[in-house]
Chains A and B, each alone.
Chain A
């Protein structure tokens, strides 16, 4: 899945103490939540979405410590946002 603002693949970050998380544009939040729900992956969304320097609002989806980060990344990589399909790179592939 491609970030609607940065046009880069959405990544699962694993650099926080609170466990892996995904930063996602607000207009893509529902889609990401649906993907995770359909895959049975437990998650929670931060109550506040944040916008820096008048850029679009970004929400944080928390995945918990025991999530399979690679599996979630694969899920994101294999599911394009219909709105962003034309921006998808030909070999977005699996990301470490």
Chain B
């Protein structure tokens, strides 16, 4: 089935992106650990910004690293992680809707368009759930092995898409909380469950 190959390729791409992101974090941390060892061995470093004249020493950098790691390295990596999931989910949905358009059969095109471009994440999840639930109840397997297998395959894919949608929205919510708390500390928002956010 061609769509299975396309989904496999999509999954491989997403996995590769995730591996890349994981390696980035691991390698940066490795460099910092090596730097700490290097400083512990008695080496010193001074850096002077030629424009501002600001100077930092190796001790300053070591003190700064805890905050850099939490706020930027992990924080921005998490944002990138969400982006990978979003990209995978929407490409996955596009493939499913293209190859298994049962859910588009009853004047659903506009609603899907809304869903795929929805700015409101709560609405997006709601729309996807409505589609998936309707699709499941309406699914009628035709006689003939290939059709049955195809339908089962797509039903599994849709079920996975539903879980992924929930997970992705949960990640998006956490990303927003993270971004917000970084910009304006002490005024939390989006504390509710993903489905009720927005």
Contacts and interface: CB of A to CB of B under 8 A. Distances in A.
Interface of A: 26, 45-54, 57, 59
A52 B44 contact: yes
Contacts of A45: 50
Main secondary structure of the interface of B (DSSP, over half): strand
Contact of B48 (A48, A52, A53, A54): A48
Interface residues of B, number: 9
A52 B45 contact: yes
B196 to A, nearest CB: 46
B106 interface: no
A51 B46 contact: yes
A50 B48 CA distance: 6
B43 A48 contact: no
A46 B49 CA distance: 9
B181 interface: no
Contacts of B45: 50-53
Interface string B109-120: 000000000000
B23 interface: no
B47 interface: yes
Contacts of B49: 47-48
A30 to B, nearest CB: 11
Contact of B47 (A50, A53, A54): A50
B172 to A, nearest CB: 34
A86 B45 CA distance: 30
B44 A53 contact: yes
A48 B44 contact: no
Contacts of A49: 47-48, 50
B185 interface: no
Given A47-B50, A50-B48, A52-B43, 14 more contacts: A46-B50, A48-B48, A48-B49, A49-B48, A49-B50, A50-B45, A50-B47, A51-B45, A51-B46, A51-B48, A53-B44, A53-B45, A54-B46, A57-B46
